[in-house]
Amino acid sequence: MKYIIAPSILSADFGNLQRDIEMINESEADWFHVDIMDGVFVPNISFGFPVMAAVKKYAAKPLDVHLMIVEPEKYIQEFADAGADRITVHYEACTHLHRTIQLIKAAGCKAGVALNPHTPVTLLQDIIEDLDLVLIMSVNPGFGGQQFIHNTYKKIQDLKRLIEGKNEDLVIEVDGGVSLQNIANLVSAGATAFVAGNAIFATENPGETISKMKLSTTT
């Protein structure tokens, strides 16, 4: 099984963004996690296309774009053009989720759906076969550095059951409060991709922390 480490750019030093991107390029990380927040779907605003273009310019690994915005269908093509490899939209932000997923695929990207902590995975049962990735939020979206919500383990297990015999290659991504303390348990529960912001960027040697995280997925 290939486990993915996706450092979240949200926790990078934006005054030294190129330096932090190069650190990730040289590390054992697999993807860049790019958090887009609109101040409407979530109570915070992160950054938009100009910053994403700067990330794309220097990033040597795929961009995993997490859209925490209302009406994401309006911007799918623009995010694809800006260099997204994976685009994840929130279940709670999409009235016509099936159509939005098809839009993402038509734009040439892998398609994901994110679930807020209160949204049960069973709501995905009629779309699960169309998805490349499900992102389970393990904090309420909007901010880095929050505390991990324990119920996430149960949700990962529920999702494992849901994909059985239907879509077993689905990437199960966990986002929020992921750290060296819980990553091995998340692997045991069935998660396959791990977003981490604070747990990487707030450490003395982020590259080394990424290596330790990667190691925790294999032992």
* Residue 133 interaction partner, one of Zn ion, ligand DX5, none, beta carbon < 5-8 Å per kind: none
What are the percentages of helix, strand and coil residues in the chain, rounded to 5? Answer: 40, 20, 40
Catalytic site residue 175? yes
Annotated binding site: 8, 33, 35, 66, 142-145, 175-177
- Provide the pairing of β-strand 133-137 with 110-115: parallel
Q: Which of 35, 38, 64, 132 is catalytic?
A: 35
Q: Which residues bind ligand DX5 (CB under 6 A)?
A: 8, 10-11, 33, 35, 66, 139, 141-146, 175-178, 195-199
Which partner, Zn ion, ligand DX5, none, binds residue 146 by CB below 5 to 8 Å per kind?
Answer: ligand DX5
- Say how far apart CA 187 and CA 204 lie, in whole Å: 25
- Least distance CB 95 / ligand DX5 (angstroms): 22
Q: 33 near 195, Cβ under 8 Å? A: yes
DSSP reduced 3-state for 164 = coil
Could you say which of 5, 27, 66, 216 contacts Zn ion (CB under 5 A)? 66
The listed partner (ligand DX5, Zn ion, none) that binds 178, CB under 5 to 8 Å by sort, is ligand DX5
81 a catalytic residue = no
Q: For 95-108, give one letter per residue: b (16+ CB within 10 A) or e.
A: eebeebbebbeebe
Count of beta carbons in the 10 Å neighbourhood of residue 126:
10
**Residues of the binding site for substrate:** 8, 66, 142-145, 175-177
How far is CA 177 from its chain centroid? 12
Among positions 175, 186, 191, 193, the unique one binding Zn ion when judged by CB under 5 A: 175
Residue 20 lies near Zn ion (rule: CB under 5 A): no
Which sequence positions are flagged as catalytic?
35, 175
